[in-house]
Amino acid sequence: MLIDRYPVSQESELLSQVDWDFPERVAHSGIEGLHPYPAKFISEIPRALLEMLPLPPNTIVLDPFCGSGTTLVESQRRGMQCIGVDLNPIATLITRVKASPLPEGIEQSLVRVIDQAHRVDSVRIPTIPNLDHWFKKPIQSALAACMAAITTAEAEYQDVLRLALSSIIVRISNQDSDTRYAAVSKNVSQEDVFSGFYDSARKIVSVLSDRDYELTPAEVITSDTLELSADDIRRPVGMVITSPPYPNAYEYWLYHKYRMWWLGYDPLAVKRREIGARAHFFKRNPHTPDHFNGQMTKIFKLLRSVVAPNGYACFIIGRSKIHGRIVDNGAMIESVALAAGFNPVFKVERSISPRRKSFNLSHANIKKETLLVLHRTGHSL
């Protein structure tokens, strides 16, 4: 762990007492493990930040790249209101489910949906590229029957049911695993689809019923954050906690491609807007580190107008390798933030656990990441 402290302050004294590698941590379980998501935070990071940094009065927590909603869950645990934004509709589906009350009657709705899915005898299979390569025909029919049955459920149940189906899609496909994108032969039957869907929904219900904290209001926005304005956020933000996407690292759209197709979203539209997606760095379409700099400049323009005086912005980010060159994204964000009126108060380089499973791009080889804590200077907005 390498700590950079800037001028000594109360915050930096406190923050430097934490072992940001969290070596004692055990694997994701419960609400953190509700649905797979690549490169998610370990919950200890937002938890420690929320415990140690004071939230200015009447402000909320914002994660402008919320992924699976770890920041929102930790904010709710501490009784703080929060907003999460993500481009990826699977991310915002996971976050909404984690941060919302369980709708009453969900179990009965699940039984009705499963029953209906079993009874469907002819169902339209959606048009999805390469479908036969990744899904056996009987599995396609069972999945389509589940989707058709879900769409007949009342609106309040849809999110939990859709998340349950999403969580089993890779398991019942020919894809080897969530972290390995290769077709293999698996012994999966239609009944495995129905029972997998049922079990997954039961698990979600059980995990969410175990939440032992009050659910503070949480807003979840599905949008390209680069397109947002201060009017979309509406409330003063006291703390930003986020791990932004960065060039050539993870492919969130690709990881969830078939989940999106099956749930009726367009993964290609997500790919086009996804910051850092590898396709943007191919020779025919060459983004450079300057693109990322421009994108983060835009993000900090937004943060400058929504973060309250004396609020904080905490960024966790790794390095990129672009056309063979290593780019220090942490240093870049620091300079962009400074220009936008945020002062760095603490920086630490932490090791990423080798156990963190992701759809890892072998060339990226990400083993370290930087936590950068910035303070919004005290003049009014």
**Footprint on this chain of ligand SAM (rule: CB under 6 A):** 37, 39-41, 65, 67-68, 70, 85-88, 91, 224-226, 243, 245, 252, 273-275
Q: Could you tell me which of 279, 367, 262 has the C-alpha nearest to residue 319? A: 367
Is 235 or 273 the residue whose CB approaches ligand SAM more closely? 273
Q: How far is CA 175 from CA 84, 192, 234, 296, in A?
A: 30, 16, 42, 34
Min separation Cβ 33 and ligand SAM, Å: 12
Is 91 or 263 the residue whose CB approaches ligand SAM more closely? 91
Min separation Cβ 235 and ligand SAM, Å: 19
Min separation Cβ 177 and ligand SAM, Å: 19
Q: Which residue is nearest to ligand SAM (CB)?
A: 67
Whole-angstrom distance, CA of residue 344 vs CA of residue 5: 9
Is 95 or 140 the residue whose CB approaches ligand SAM more closely? 95
Min separation Cβ 18 and ligand SAM, Å: 18
Min separation Cβ 54 and ligand SAM, Å: 22
One-letter amino acid of 108? Q
| Cβ-defined contacts of 159-163 (< 8 Å, 24+) | 159/93, 159/96, 159/97, 159/100, 160/97, 160/102, 160/103, 160/106, 160/201, 160/204, 160/205, 161/109, 161/110, 161/113, 161/201, 162/93, 162/263, 163/34, 163/35, 163/93, 163/94, 163/97, 163/204
Min separation Cβ 374 and ligand SAM, Å: 17
Min separation Cβ 143 and ligand SAM, Å: 23
* Strands lying side by side in the sheet with 60-63: 2-4, 342-351, 368-376, 307-317, 237-242, 60-63, 82-86, 218-222
Is 117 or 307 the residue whose CB approaches ligand SAM more closely? 307
Q: Is the dihedral of CA 231, 235, 236, 242 positive or negative?
A: negative
Q: How far is Cα of residue 83 from the mean position of the Cα atoms in its chain? A: 13
